[in-house]
Structure 1
């Protein structure tokens, strides 16, 4: 068996990374802030020099910060054994903010494998990354990433925890609709994910797609904006945590409908759809 389940607990060395005002602006534009928002141009996220408006960072930007849990030779992913990267699929993504995300910061991040599970036809690898703000040595955010590697299951290992609970069967309390741009993936890729699956038609065709698909984390960011404006009155300091499962790819230009069930007490569930197709499922969010 090429994967090594004993790699659970493998940890990267601490590495430092930074972002600046321009990075926050680019991320906001990449996840649709601006003209795609029915309430306005979201100038607090898309400009840094508007009179009377202080620039802010979107909470979901933390998932593209800290260097990435799977990046570089020091990544704990290098310790799990051999596998075909083409069979790796981003399954779930979550994060928790320990304080509001700054527009500019330098963080020290450590990534760790927290689980390797046998799902039968696939293996599930779960990674956690903790980022500390070097300005005050305080925790800034924690991200959790679940990766499915097709064809690497079946060794008789622990299947892991059951999947997240589904959204309620009743109608949503809120539905927020955002249209993505036909060139959305070309813009979002400038945040760091240059996978040609999202830009090269021939590469996408080799993967079984008629056209390049949108990054899952771009759909995640669009969804986060809907949650921020609907549940937090557009105040990112009130946004605490988010988790969702990727269930179907999105094509640039498709329209996203974010269905939100507010459960009270600072928690809600969500599901993002394209028409009747669920693209981000079993979503949970915590807010104040």
Structure 2
């Protein structure tokens, strides 16, 4: 096998062979030629045996999205035959991060969280496409928690799609996948990791989709702005999620009631006796008036 960067780099004999066969490879290509054409003819051609080449390629890091096309051509007895073109779509893993209210599960990103409240960080994993040409060996979530403000409580992981294993077993969408994972949390640094076991990933059929969502439950223990970003790994490829933030105000300080000092009594004066005397005077006048009224009647 020869790795040919350009057909112009081949010797004149091979260049003529390709040209006369009527094929025109573009760019880099690999070329197989028999070291001993006569022996090859007896061993394979006369016996009607097929030859299959399986090649594995690694996509260059510079190529992040698009289509990868590949074709093949064969020369038999000077005649060129072109095979079909196969197309592989290269997709970039997409993952997302959210922070949810514990009660109703709604997003509270950029919202307010009270001291002592529990919130859930949702890490949405990438759905690995079906009918792929590779096996899974890594599927991992890594979340750097702000441990000074969030106290880690527990996690859960569920299937994002129906998952078919190589033995035909189907794990339904929404199923708990905890038994296939390992969780490691460092309470000193706040680093959280959930890793799918390699022996489980090897059982996932290439014809099946695969994906999971991870939920991390924490308790808010300190006031301030709390930011959170996670990393996702699949088969050695790292993808970073967006950053979520929540705000926690300081707890209101209790108000200490102030003692009220009673006002001192005012000194009494002669005005205090005026009202009773006035009332008595009114009664006397009323009596005299009544007597005068009776005399006039007589």
User: Which bin holds the TM-score, normalised by the shorter protein?
Assistant: under 0.3
- Using the size of structure 2 for normalisation, the TM-score is 0.21
- Using the size of structure 1 for normalisation, the TM-score is 0.22
Higher gyration radius (CA):
2
